[in-house]
Amino acid sequence: MKQKKSKTINGEMDPLVPEVVEYLNKFDFPLARLLQKKFKIGFSRAEKILKQIETERRK
């Protein structure tokens, strides 16, 4: 399965965020490394996604 590789632009959410949230519900704590392996993305993108999720949860 090929993943979308688009970057966050103009403050928009990464398109992987919904899939990542569903995946991370299986774990007690989120790790960028888990996202890298599962979604075959780089560390920077994984960190950005985690920050986006955290920001949304605080709202």
The answer to whether position 4 is within a domain reads no
Instruction: Please state the domain count of the chain.
Output: 1
pLDDT band for 10, please (50, 70, 90 cuts).
low
Question: Is residue 27, in this structure, part of any structural domain at all?
Answer: yes
Q: Is residue 28 part of a domain?
A: yes
Residue 7 included in any domain: no
pLDDT (average), residues 30-55: 95
Determine, yes or no, domain membership for 30.
yes
Greater pLDDT, 3 or 44? 44
Q: Is residue 41 part of a domain?
A: yes
Band (4; pLDDT cuts 50, 70, 90): very low
Burial of 15 (0-12, 13-18, 19+ CB in 10 A): middle
At 32 the three-state DSSP class reads helix
Domain that holds residue 48: 17-58
pLDDT of residue 5: 44
Looking at the domain assignment, is residue 35 inside a domain?
A: yes
pLDDT at 34 over 90: yes
